């Protein structure tokens, strides 16, 4: 088999037996390899591209082709495209060799594949389930298999989850959750502490697991868009956009320029209100309530603007495949412009309040450091990775309408709470400038904002740099125009592990601060 | 700096921005309802109603709106409603989400930890009947199958104004 040129450039002189390769889209290269070569090719790509595993998932094709297929997705930053390594898994012997021993970022994905499909990653040292809790779900029932049926009613499974134990003199554990003191999602945090400093933190999630990927199967594209808006409520727009992008690829629809620009405006508005919320949250977690309340006013102002623009405070019901539901007319554009001025000045005051307070800066400086090397190894994304000195941003890493807009990728080097705070503050400023540029461009652009889509069979990756980080969606549509399989990766999925590394050596009272500076999603992670 | 903040707040006076008119509710509604709510809470709960919130699998939008109820614009606390950190301090339990299997036990334990008299309020579409997640292998169809629910606040998510209005109507009829 001839290597695609793209692959040749990356792997150089190495020989890999590629059975099949295809490039259905400009930015997606699919490579099918023998089972024995899968690990080797993934290692090569991981090293040469310097890319963590971005997605790793399975698909049940037993009904048609008598096999499962595994897909492992890497990002080629230089070529701004995805490389997807594919491996067939025999239906009667569902096992594969683990990647996790050398590529840490594959570990959580492998555990997910194991619990959802019953395909065993042989050699992965951690076989514990993530979302189907041992206490309530019996073994041997794999929800994402096509022939899945519910376990029989009866008493709960009653198995126990094993936490990692730290042993030694004077070590004690502090368990927190799943129900927390604040108004927040559920998660269980187990701290192992010696005196004051945290020496280990294990985060157990999955409490809000609702079976989203299974629910999506068999839904029409229109129904699925609604579900996507309810995966993580604060990223409603980012999620529906990522899904629409993936479907637009599958259907081969080109979205009118006006819709693309308006989508950018909404995405940046979402980024701004969430960053305002986070900055306020960081202030609140050190007990500095005046700026916290001030930030909540900024957030409320943007939410009210959202409602005026589209009738929904959380930007729901805007995205449709092929464009957007309703146009934003010149009156509404003016509203945005006026609001931006106010938001900008408010943000400057907010920053002044925070950065000029010595006691506040003392709490955030050098707290919760996530080192660059750790961030890279864990496959951290979004704000957290940029605060640790790595300039990953899907708005730059992929081809999109953002190419026609000028903005900076905000980076900080120190990786502490202060760095994440600064990244957020500066990203808001960039967002304001991006929105202004879009408003200028919209004046001269044709009025068409929706392209009719012809349903057809297909698949594709949709990826959006939402406020937390990249939301990644891979979906396959069947011949009836319904969803066959949909894989969703929330930016929080790998970032939660980053949090458990960042808190090491800090004291428990600083945990809320570290947690808020990452501000991860429970619902998006648990799906 | 703190001097600046002080000067600023004296100079500016009230910083809360007036609620803009949305399709269904406006500021005067919220103010009026809130004042009535305050009187009702004073009479029926001896001055204050304490609420404990539990997320049983919501997407986070309902939480965001419940938090917004306490921001300086709506400021639900001035009407006598407070969100507390422990079920031991609560009169009411506010539940969001369709109740995922993993959260069922935690929800029941939270309810059991509350002192009598107590009641349960649900917020958002998923909490009534599972909403979009109805029929999932891992979610129950709403809270009412697990705990006795006396009030449901509809919306996906309901805005802070809607939450305040529903609470007022409910307490009025109590």
pLDDT by residue (tens digit) across A423-455? 999 999 999 999 999 999 988 888 888 888 888
Q: Is A137 on the interface with B (CB under 8 A)?
A: yes
Chain B positions touching A236 (Cβ under 8 A) are 59, 61
């040292």: which residue's tokens? A125
Cβ <8 Å between A211 and B138: yes
Q: Which helix (H) or strand (E) holds A20?
A: strand A18-25
Cβ <8 Å between A136 and B131: no
Cβ <8 Å between B102 and A208: yes
Q: Please write the tens of the pLDDT for every residue from A304-337.
A: 999 999 889 999 999 999 889 888 888 888 989 9
3-state secondary structure A500-520: HHHCCCCEHHHHHHHHHHHCC
Categorize the per-residue pLDDT at A182 as very low, low, confident or very high, splitting at 50, 70 and 90.
Answer: confident
Q: Is A138 on the interface with B (CB under 8 A)?
A: no
Query: What's the residue count for chain A?
Result: 527
B20 touches A308 (CB < 8 A): yes
Q: Tell me: pLDDT of B149 over 90.
A: yes
Cβ <8 Å between B66 and A311: no
A203 touches A522 (CB < 8 A): no
Q: Tell me: pLDDT of B14 over 70.
A: no
A383 touches A420 (CB < 8 A): yes
pLDDT computed for residue A19 by the predictor: 84
Cα-trace Rg, chain B: 18
pLDDT computed for residue A2 by the predictor: 53
Among B12, B133, B50, smallest CA distance to A211 is for: B133
pLDDT computed for residue B23 by the predictor: 47
B100 touches B138 (CB < 8 A): yes
Under 8 Å CB-to-CB from A110, ≥6 apart: which residues?
Answer: A56, A98, A99, A100, A121, A124
Q: Average pLDDT in the B135-141 region? A: 89
Work out the mean pLDDT of chain A and round it to a whole number.
Answer: 90
Among A463, A458, A465, A459, smallest CA distance to A473 is for: A463
Strand partners, A71: A57, A86
Cβ <8 Å between B110 and A183: no
Q: How far is residue A32's CA from residue A47's CA, in Å, rounded to a whole number?
A: 19
Q: Tell me: pLDDT of B18 over 80.
A: no
Cβ <8 Å between A233 and B132: no
B105 touches B80 (CB < 8 A): no
């993934």: which residue's tokens? A42
A462 touches A242 (CB < 8 A): yes
CB-closest option in B61, B73, B105 to A300: B73
Among A364, A388, A392, A411, smallest CA distance to A498 is for: A388
Domains and their CATH numbers in chain A: 5-122 (3.30.460.80), 212-526 (1.10.645.10)
Q: Tell me: pLDDT of A243 over 50.
A: yes
Q: Which helix (H) or strand (E) holds A25?
A: strand A18-25
Under 8 Å CB-to-CB from A471, ≥6 apart: which residues?
Answer: A235, A238, A239, A242, A463, A464, A488, A489, A490, A491, A524
Cα-trace Rg, chain A: 23
User: What Å distances lie between residue A281 and A114, A146, A290, A473, CA to CA?
Assistant: 36, 42, 11, 29
DSSP string, A63-107: HHHSEEEEEEEEEETTTTEEEEEEEEEESSS-EEE-STTT-GGGH
A157 touches A137 (CB < 8 A): yes
CB-closest option in B60, B85, B102 to A234: B60
Q: Average pLDDT in the A224-246 region? A: 93
Helices A289-310 + A330-355 axis angle, to 10 = 170
Under 8 Å CB-to-CB from A19, ≥6 apart: which residues?
Answer: A1, A32, A33, A34
Q: How far is residue A395's CA from residue B169's CA, in Å, rounded to a whole number?
A: 47
From A132, which residue of chain B is nearest by alpha-carbon distance? B102
Among A433, A470, A11, smallest CA distance to A241 is for: A470
Q: How far is residue A205's CA from residue A370's CA, in Å, rounded to a whole number?
A: 21
Q: Please write the tens of the pLDDT for every residue from A38-53.
A: 999 999 899 988 999 9
Q: How far is residue B37's CA from residue B50's CA, in Å, rounded to a whole number?
A: 14
Selected for mutation to probe chain A from B30, B69, B132, B139 (highest A CB count within 10 Å) is B132
Selected for mutation to probe chain A from B75, B97, B102, B128 (highest A CB count within 10 Å) is B102
pLDDT computed for residue A463 by the predictor: 93
Residue A62: how many other CB atoms lie within 10 Å = 16
Chain B positions touching A304 (Cβ under 8 A) are 19-20, 22
Cβ <8 Å between B136 and A210: yes
Q: Please write the tens of the pLDDT for every residue from A460-515.
A: 999 999 999 999 999 999 998 899 999 999 999 999 999 999 999 999 999 999 99
pLDDT computed for residue A450 by the predictor: 83
Q: Please write the tens of the pLDDT for every residue from A253-267.
A: 989 999 999 999 999
A526 touches A250 (CB < 8 A): no
| Percent of chain B whose pLDDT exceeds 90 | 41
Chain B nearest CA to A132, separation (Å) = 8
Task: Give the angle subtended at the CA of A65 by the CAs of A62 and A67, to the nearest 5°.
Answer: 50
pLDDT computed for residue A153 by the predictor: 80
Reduced to 3 states (helix: H, G, I; strand: E, B; else coil), residue A220 is: strand
A228 touches A239 (CB < 8 A): yes
Q: Please write the tens of the pLDDT for every residue from A85-100.
A: 999 999 888 999 999 9
B81 touches B160 (CB < 8 A): no
A499 preceded by a cis bond (ω within 30 of 0): no
Q: Which helix (H) or strand (E) holds B7?
A: helix B2-12
Query: What's the residue count for chain B?
Result: 174
From B109, which residue of chain A is nearest by alpha-carbon distance? A179
Q: Is A413 on the interface with B (CB under 8 A)?
A: no
More confident position, A6 or B55? B55
Chain A positions touching B66 (Cβ under 8 A) are 183
Q: Average pLDDT in the A105-120 region? A: 93
Domains and their CATH numbers in chain B: 28-173 (3.40.50.12280)
Q: Average pLDDT in the A390-417 region? A: 90
Cβ <8 Å between B138 and A236: no
Categorize the per-residue pLDDT at B1 as very low, low, confident or very high, splitting at 50, 70 and 90.
Answer: low
Q: Is A518 on the interface with B (CB under 8 A)?
A: no
């803009």: which residue's tokens? B20
Q: Tell me: pLDDT of B25 over 70.
A: no
B94 touches B117 (CB < 8 A): no
Q: Please write the tens of the pLDDT for every residue from A123-144.
A: 888 889 999 998 888 888 999 9
Q: Is A348 on the interface with B (CB under 8 A)?
A: no
- Measured in degrees and rounded to the nearest 5, phi and psi for residue B101 equal -55, -40
| Percent of chain A whose pLDDT exceeds 70 | 99
User: What Å distances lie between residue A461 and A107, A221, A464, CA to CA?
Assistant: 21, 15, 10
Cβ <8 Å between A522 and B19: no
Q: Tell me: pLDDT of A359 over 70.
A: yes
Q: Which of residues 254-273 of A touch B (CB under 8 A)?
A: none
Residue A481: how many other CB atoms lie within 10 Å = 15
Torsion of CA A503, A505, A511, A513, to 10 degrees: -80
pLDDT computed for residue A469 by the predictor: 92
Cβ <8 Å between A186 and B103: yes
Reduced to 3 states (helix: H, G, I; strand: E, B; else coil), residue B58 is: coil
Chain A positions touching B81 (Cβ under 8 A) are none
Q: Please write the tens of the pLDDT for every residue from A187-233.
A: 999 999 998 899 999 999 999 999 999 999 999 999 999 999 999 99
Helices A417-443 + A330-355 axis angle, to 10 = 160
Among A520, A490, A515, A518, smallest CA distance to A191 is for: A515
Reduced to 3 states (helix: H, G, I; strand: E, B; else coil), residue A130 is: coil
Work out whether strand B49-55 and strand A483-489 pair parallel, antiparallel, or are unpaired.
Answer: unpaired
Categorize the per-residue pLDDT at B43 as very low, low, confident or very high, splitting at 50, 70 and 90.
Answer: confident
């Amino acid at each position: 088999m001839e290597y695609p040129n793209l692959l040749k450039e990356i792997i150089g002189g190495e020989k890999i037996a590629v059975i099949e390769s295809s490039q259905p889209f400009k930015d997606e290269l699919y490579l099918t390899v023998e089972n024995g070569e899968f690990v080797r090719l993934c290692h090569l790509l991981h090293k040469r591209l310097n890319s963590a595993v971005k997605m790793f998932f399975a698909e049940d094709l037993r009904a048609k082709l008598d096999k499962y297929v595994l897909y492992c997705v890497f990002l080629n930053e230089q070529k701004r495209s995805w490389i997807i390594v594919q491996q067939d898994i025999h239906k009667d012997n569902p096992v594969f060799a683990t990647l996790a021993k050398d590529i840490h970022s594959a570990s959580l994905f492998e555990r997910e594949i194991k619990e959802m499909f019953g395909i065993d990653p042989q050699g992965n040292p951690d076989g514990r389930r993530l979302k189907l809790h041992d206490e309530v779900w019996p073994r041997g029932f794999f929800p994402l298999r096509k022939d899945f049926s519910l376990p029989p009613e009866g008493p709960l499974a009653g198995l126990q989850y094993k936490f990692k134990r730290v042993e030694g003199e004077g070590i004690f554990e502090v368990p927190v959750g799943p129900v927390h003191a604040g108004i927040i999602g559920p998660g269980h945090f187990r701290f192992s502490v010696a005196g004051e400093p945290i020496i280990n933190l294990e985060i157990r999630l999955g409490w809000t697991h609702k079976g989203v990927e299974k629910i999506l199967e068999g839904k029409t594209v229109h129904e699925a868009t609604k579900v996507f808006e309810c995966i993580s409520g604060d990223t409603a727009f980012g999620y529906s956009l990522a899904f629409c992008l993936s479907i637009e690829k599958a259907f081969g629809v080109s979205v009118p320029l006006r819709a693309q620009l308006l989508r950018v405006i909404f995405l940046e508005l979402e980024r701004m209100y969430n960053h305002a919320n986070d900055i306020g949250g960081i202030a609140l977690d050190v007990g500095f309530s005046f700026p916290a309340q001030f930030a909540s006013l900024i957030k409320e102002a943007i939410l009210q603007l959202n409602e005026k623009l589209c009738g929904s405070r959380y930007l729901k019901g805007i995205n449709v495949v092929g464009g957007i539901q309703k146009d934003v007319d010149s009156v509404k554009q003016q509203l945005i412009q006026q609001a931006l001025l106010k938001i900008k000045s408010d943000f400057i005051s907010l920053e002044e309040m925070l950065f000029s307070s010595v006691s506040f800066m003392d709490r955030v400086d050098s707290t919760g450091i996530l080192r660059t090397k750790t961030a890279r190894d864990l496959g951290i994304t979004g704000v957290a990775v940029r605060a640790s000195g790595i300039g990953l941003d899907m708005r730059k890493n992929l081809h999109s309408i953002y190419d026609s807009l000028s903005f900076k990728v905000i980076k900080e080097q120190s990786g502490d709470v202060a760095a994440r705070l600064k990244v957020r503050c500066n990203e808001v400023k960039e967002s304001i400038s991006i929105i202004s540029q879009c408003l200028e461009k919209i004046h001269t652009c044709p009025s068409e904002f929706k392209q009719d889509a012809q349903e057809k069979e297909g698949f594709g990756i949709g990826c959006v740099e939402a406020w937390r980080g990249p939301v990644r969606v891979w979906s396959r549509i069947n011949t009836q125009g319904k969803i066959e399989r949909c894989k969703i990766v929330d930016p929080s999925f790998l970032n939660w592990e980053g949090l458990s590394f960042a808190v090491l050596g800090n004291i428990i009272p600083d945990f809320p601060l570290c947690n808020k500076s990452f501000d991860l999603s429970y619902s998006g992670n648990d799906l | 700096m703190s001097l600046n903040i002080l000067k600023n707040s004296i100079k500016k006076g009230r910083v809360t921005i007036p609620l803009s008119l949305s399709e269904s509710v406006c500021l005067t509604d919220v103010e009026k309802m809130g004042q009535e709510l305050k009187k009702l809470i004073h009479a029926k709960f001896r001055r204050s109603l304490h609420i404990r919130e539990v997320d049983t699998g919501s997407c986070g939008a309902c939480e965001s709106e419940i938090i917004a109820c306490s921001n300086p614009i709506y400021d639900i606390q001035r009407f006598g409603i407070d969100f507390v950190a422990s079920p031991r301090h609560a009169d009411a339990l506010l539940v969001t989400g369709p109740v995922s299997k993993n959260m069922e036990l935690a929800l029941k334990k939270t309810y059991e930890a509350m002192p009598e008299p107590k009641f349960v309020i649900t917020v958002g579409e998923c909490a009534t009947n599972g909403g979009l997640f109805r029929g999932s292998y891992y979610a129950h169809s709403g809270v009412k199958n697990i705990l006795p629910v006396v009030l449901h606040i509809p919306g996906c998510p309901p805005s802070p104004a809607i939450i305040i209005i529903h609470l007022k109507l409910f307490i009025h009829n109590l």
